[in-house]
Amino acid sequence: MTVRLHTLQSQPGSRRPRNRKGRGIAAGQGASCGFGMRGQKSRSGRPTRPGFEGGQLPLYRRIPKLKHFTVVNPQVFTVVNVGDLASLPEGSQVTLDSLKTAGIVGKNSAPLKILGDGELTVKLHCQAHGFSKTARDKITAAGGSCETLPGRKVWIRPNQTSGNST
């Protein structure tokens, strides 16, 4: 038998007739139609919104407070260790652009942060948006200097003591 669009039909018994609710006691779903007598879920319309958990803090609001979830706006840095800077010549200026030209970092536009892994013996003048404590100690111990560049300003709540408190 060839299958044509005009000959397609479902298998016998696969499609049951729909249940006609509220058509009397004999129909089996009369009056309250299987929703019970009273209560929120017996009323017309959708009883609750999707995700409603009866007043308990719903899952979509609990998840961000749990461990192992990422921060909404993470601060991303281009990370370089002090050991990577040891190959630079004595007295050179270390910035994100100079590290790109030296081939230490790739084509990354994120702010530069210097971490303290490795040893440093050359004197360098470093300009970065962030330094770890050990990186700052190792650079200054080698005779270099660390200059922290200004980054994104952090909003701080203004002092509420100066004002009328009624």
Is residue 140 a part of any domain in this protein?
yes
Domain count, the chain: 1
pLDDT value at 166 more than 80: no
CATH number, position 135: 3.100.10.10
On the CB side of 17, CA atoms within 13 Å amount to 2
Residue 155 is predicted with a pLDDT of: 64
Residue 91 is predicted with a pLDDT of: 92
Range of lowest pLDDT (28-37, 93-102, 130-139):
28-37
Is residue 43 a part of any domain in this protein?
no
Is residue 24 a part of any domain in this protein?
no
Is residue 6 a part of any domain in this protein?
no
pLDDT digits (tens, 9 = 90+) for 28-46: 888 888 888 898 888 888 7
- Average pLDDT rounded to a whole number, residues 5-32: 90
Is residue 73 a part of any domain in this protein?
no
Residue 66 is predicted with a pLDDT of: 80
Domain that holds residue 135: 78-148
pLDDT digits (tens, 9 = 90+) for 54-92: 899 999 888 878 877 776 677 889 999 999 999 999 999
The DSSP string of the chain is ----GGG--PPTTSSPPPP--SS-GGGSS-TTTTS-SSSGGGSSS-SS-TT--TTSPPHHHHGGGSTT---SS----EEEEHHHHTTSPTT-EE-HHHHHHHTSS-S--SPEEEE--S---S--EEEESEE-HHHHHHHHHTT-EEEEPP-SPPP-PPPSSSS---
Is residue 96 a part of any domain in this protein?
yes
Is residue 63 a part of any domain in this protein?
no
Is residue 71 a part of any domain in this protein?
no
